[in-house]
């Protein structure tokens, strides 16, 4: 296929470009770093001529720092996607692979012993400040048992980045209905690996931990470190995008092996030979407690299974020779 890849110079996009090329696809690229803005129809339209599919990775990432980030996120992610979809319709391009995210779910799946499956409300600041990190049952206030979230879970975004990822999925679905096109929305879980951005408020937690270790400082772990996530290597994510060129629907892109934030910090510290992580009890209101997913639908629908083991991936990310 001839594929237009947006965000091609970014952390994930650069790996997707390599994976598409290795799979024999003809790759065209669009990236803001090259002066090509996905919000500019004049930049997008020429690149769509003769294209079979679009792999859309261009986005502003991270949870956002404060309310003043709202316009920038909305412009880059929602407006950028809307312009791209309109130009795809104009060019007759009918296949889209969309970089979505686990953040569309908000909190993960939970069950109450008395009330069964429930959706906890956003955690209150007074609870976080008091060290009560686990979300309670919204009906009775009892402790909840976390589980795995499936692709059919309702959207429940809890920060501006999540809001715009939900918007991207809705816009893509509208485009597909109006044009007869197909969309594969890949809901990435915690992606890490080579070329991950660092030393920025918008960087992922793995990059922030690594930067501290490189300076000889202990990783600072928020809450009690028990937050559960699924860490998936960027090369696995790139491979999922190649497979999704033939797919349709929403898919969790995850390893299927959840770890805590404390586990991840400890693995990086071990690879560096210390110092040991420090659990601070700090918190961010935009964060959720647990979000892990089953990769079964991606396995069945795309033939995708993560291949990079957690320990090996973290050692590589730390820059430790195999």
- Please tell me what DSSP assigns to residue 169: H
Amino acid 201: pLDDT: 54
Helix or strand (DSSP H, E) at 51:
none
For residue 182, what is the enclosing H or E element? strand 182-188
DSSP H helices, the chain, are 11-22, 41-48, 70-73, 80-91, 125-129, 160-179, 205-214, 234-244, 261-272, 296-302, 310-318
More confident residue, 166 or 66: 166
- Our measurement of the distance from residue 68's CA atom to the centroid of its chain's CA atoms, rounded to an integer in Å, reads 22
133-153 pLDDT, tens digit each: 999 999 999 999 999 999 999
What's the CA dihedral at 79, 95, 149, 279 to 10 degrees?
-60
d(CA 16, CA 268): 25
DSSP state of 134: S
Q: Return the exposure string of 14-43: e unless at least 16 CB atoms fall within 10 Å of the residue's CB, then b.
A: bbbbebbeebebebbbbbbeeebbbbeeeb
% of the chain exceeding 70 in pLDDT? 97
More confident residue, 205 or 3: 3
When pLDDT is cut at 50, 70 and 90, the band that residue 207 belongs to is confident
- Confidence grade of residue 274 (pLDDT, cut at 50, 70, 90): confident
Average pLDDT on 255-260 reads: 94
User: Using one digit for the tens of pLDDT, what is the confidence trace for 30-40?
Assistant: 999 888 999 99
State the CATH class of domain 2-108+149-319: alpha beta
Question: What DSSP line would sit under 64-127, residue for residue?
Answer: -SSGGGHHHHIIIIIIHHHHHHHHHHHHT--EEEEEEEGGGGSS-EEEETTTEEE-PPPPPHHH
Q: How confident is the model at residue 285 (pLDDT cuts 50, 70, 90)?
A: confident
d(C-alpha 3, C-alpha 314), whole Å: 31
Please give the distance of CA 159 from its chain centroid, rounded to a whole number.
Answer: 13
Mean pLDDT of 27-31: 97
Q: What is the pLDDT of residue 66?
A: 79
Which residues have C-beta within 8 Å of that of residue 55, sequence separation ≥ 6? 3, 4, 5, 6, 16, 20, 97, 99, 241, 245
Does residue 203 surpass a pLDDT of 90? Answer: no
Q: pTM of this prediction?
A: 0.93
Task: Kindly state the average pLDDT of the residues 190-198.
Answer: 89
| pLDDT number for residue 322 | 47
């Amino acid at each position: 296929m001839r594929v237009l890849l947006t965000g091609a110079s970014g952390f994930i996009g650069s790996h997707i470009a390599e994976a598409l090329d290795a799979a024999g696809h003809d790759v065209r690229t669009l990236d803001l770093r090259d002066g090509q803005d996905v919000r500019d129809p004049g930049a997008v339209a020429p690149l769509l001529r003769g294209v079979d599919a679009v792999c859309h990775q261009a986005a502003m990432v991270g949870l956002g720092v404060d309310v003043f980030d709202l316009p920038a996120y909305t412009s880059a992610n929602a407006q950028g996607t809307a312009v791209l979809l309109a130009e795809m319709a104009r060019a007759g391009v009918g296949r889209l692979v969309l970089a979505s995210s686990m953040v569309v779910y908000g909190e993960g799946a939970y069950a109450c012993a008395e009330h069964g499956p429930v959706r906890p409300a956003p955690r209150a600041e007074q609870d976080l400040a008091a060290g009560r990190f686990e979300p309670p049952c919204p009906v009775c206030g009892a402790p909840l048992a976390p589980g795995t979230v499936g692709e059919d879970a309702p959207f429940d975004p809890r920060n501006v980045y999540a809001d715009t990822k939900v918007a991207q999925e809705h816009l893509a679905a509208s485009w597909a209905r109006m044009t007869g096109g197909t969309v594969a929305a890949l809901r990435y879980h915690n992606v890490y690996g080579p070329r991950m951005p660092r030393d920025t408020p918008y960087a992922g937690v793995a990059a922030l931990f690594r930067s501290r270790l490189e300076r000889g400082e202990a990783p600072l772990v928020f809450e009690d470190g028990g937050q559960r996530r699924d860490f998936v290597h960027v090369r696995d994510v790139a491979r999922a995008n190649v497979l999704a060129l033939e797919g349709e629907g929403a898919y969790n892109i995850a390893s299927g092996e959840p770890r805590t934030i404390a586990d991840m910090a400890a693995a990086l510290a071990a690879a560096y030979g210390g110092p040991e992580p420090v659990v601070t009890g700090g918190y961010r209101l935009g964060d959720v407690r647990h979000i892990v997913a089953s990769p079964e639908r991606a396995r069945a629908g795309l033939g995708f299974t993560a291949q990079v083991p957690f320990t090996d991936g973290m050692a590589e990310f730390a820059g430790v020779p195999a």
